[in-house]
Amino acid sequence: MDYFSNISQKEFDEIYNEHQLWLNSNHEKGKCANFEGKFLRNIVFPLEVCLSEAFLSGANLSGVNLRKAVLNRANLSGANLEKTDLESADLSNAILFGARLIGANLKFSNLANSTLTAANLSQSILSGVNFASADLSNAILKEVDLTKTSLHSCKLDGAIIESVMFSMYGKTDSNMFLFPQQPEGIDMIRQDKLKLLEKERDTLLSANKKNEKTITEKKEEIENLKIELEKRGEDIEAGLETSFKSLEDANKSIDSEICRLNWIFIIFILIAILLSIPLIIIWYSAFNDLRFLKSFEPSRLLIYSSPSIVLVALICGAIVEMNRAQRQLVSLCKFNRKYSVLKIALKGYYSVLDKHEKNPLKALETFDSIIKENIKGEFNTEKEEDKIVQMESKDAFIQQKAIDFCMDVLQKVKK
């Protein structure tokens, strides 16, 4: 390749037109411009010339007017752009490896994502330039103006930065600072950003530790509650088993007592029937004797009245005992019904515990309220017991009165 070989204006125009056709046809027609190593200082470039993706490596473009030129993705490696006017030019994604840009005017140009490795930008005007994500590794930035320049995410590894005019945060010239040496310019911004990032990191770590501590405490609290609920469930189950056993024992006792009272009731019925037979016989005999007697004899009245009074008293006593046995039987049947309801309730509690392991206490409370409503006012044990005691005392009083009456009658008959 012959570096800095001359090219005529006509040749340039032909190559340029082919390049425009190539760009407009999406690379299907025409040909990409290749000005590698060409001497282009004497060429008159069109206004806002478009050499996008063109090959310009090693070309001499020093002092050329390329204002608002479109050179994105162009290859300008090793090109001589000394004192070239590139104000407001588009050099995004361009390759400027080792390019000479000494004294060049790059004001307000776009160099985003461009490669400026080892490029020499000394004494160039870089105010308002967009260097976002550009690679300025090992670049030379001596005595440059970086007023309102964007250096966001750009690489400056090994870059030489000396005597730089730098306006922080895009403020006016009165806020500009002159950094005579490289470490005190861009490094100061980096240090500030690093400090902010470290502070944010420490804050996030601290908040994360607090959250982890809170989560751990909540987990321990939940585990303790689970253990307590399991223990309560076991206690409830043990209590229900004991209650169920007690109810079964009480139910057996009541069943046996009901059976005994049934037998007593039957026995007293039989006794009353058996006592009624001789009483009827005595009364029948007395009726026949009195009908055929011509005169009244007190001795014969005593013979018939004495056993009759005794039999009547015994029959009344049997009837009283039958009544008492019947009342006790009714009371015990009520007791038995109540125990049966409680037994069913306990079985329901067991079922609730098995089917509602997540929240057994709530389920048991609901079931308990239902049972209370069902047996509420059904049977009052204390009142029923008081009633039985009162009836027994009343029966004893009546029996005593009957005995006293029979004794009085017998004494009067004897006299």
Average pLDDT, the chain: 76
174 shares its domain with 237 = no
Q: What's the pLDDT score for residue 259?
A: 78
Tokens standing for 414? 């004897």
Which of the residue ranges 64-78, 253-267, 355-369 has the most confident prediction, judged by mean pLDDT? 64-78
Rg (CA), the chain: 61
Amino acid at 244: F
Angle at 200 between CA 198 and CA 202, to 5 degrees: 70
Mean pLDDT over residues 136-156, rounded? 88
pLDDT band at 98 (very low <50, low <70, confident <90, very high): very high
CATH number at residue 311: 1.20.1270
111 shares its domain with 14 = yes
Contact 154, 132 (CB under 8 A): yes
Interaxial angle between packed helices 186-292 and 298-355, expressed in degrees from 0 to 180 and rounded to the nearest 10: 170
Q: What is the DSSP string of 271-306?
A: HHHHHHHHHHHHHHHHHHHHHH-SS--HHHHHHHHH
> Quick one: the chain helix, strand, coil %, rounded to 5?
60, 10, 35
Q: What's the pLDDT score for residue 270?
A: 84
Percent of the chain topping pLDDT 90: 29
Q: Confirm whether 243 is domain-assigned.
A: yes
Q: What's the pLDDT score for residue 323?
A: 74
Q: Confirm whether 109 is domain-assigned.
A: yes
Quote the CA–CA distance of 204 and 215 in Å, as a whole number.
16
377 shares its domain with 286 = yes
Choose the final residue of a domain: 151, 168, 184: 184
Q: What's the pLDDT score for residue 317?
A: 73
117 shares its domain with 56 = yes
233 shares its domain with 175 = no
269 shares its domain with 177 = no
Instruction: Of 86, 181, 98, give the one whose Cα is nearest residue 138.
Output: 98
Q: Confirm whether 209 is domain-assigned.
A: no
268 shares its domain with 403 = yes
Contact 63, 82 (CB under 8 A): yes
CATH number at residue 10: 2.160.20
Tokens standing for 376? 């509420």
152 shares its domain with 252 = no
40 shares its domain with 163 = yes
Q: Confirm whether 220 is domain-assigned.
A: no
How many helices and strands in the chain, by DSSP H and E?
5, 6
Contact 180, 163 (CB under 8 A): yes
Q: Confirm whether 222 is domain-assigned.
A: no
Instruction: Of 105, 108, 11, 32, give the one whose Cα is nearest residue 62.
Output: 105
Confidence check: pLDDT of 81 > 90: yes
20 shares its domain with 151 = yes
pLDDT digits (tens, 9 = 90+) for 310-369: 777 777 777 777 777 777 777 767 666 666 666 666 666 666 555 544 555 555 565 566
Angle at 395 between CA 390 and CA 399, to 5 degrees: 150
Between 135 and 310, residue with greater pLDDT:
135
User: Which of 37-51, 93-107, 112-126, 174-188 is predicted with the least confidence, judged by mean pLDDT?
Assistant: 174-188
Query: What is the domain count for the chain?
Result: 2
Domain extent, residue 391, equals: 229-414
148 shares its domain with 251 = no
Number of other residues whose CB lies within 10 A of the CB of residue 313: 18
Q: What's the pLDDT score for residue 69?
A: 94
Tokens standing for 123? 């004494």
Confidence check: pLDDT of 50 > 90: yes
Amino acid at 357: E
Instruction: Of 91, 58, 62, give the one whose Cα is nearest residue 77.
Output: 58
Q: pTM higher than 0.85 for the full model?
A: no
327 shares its domain with 270 = yes
Choose the final residue of a domain: 131, 161, 184: 184
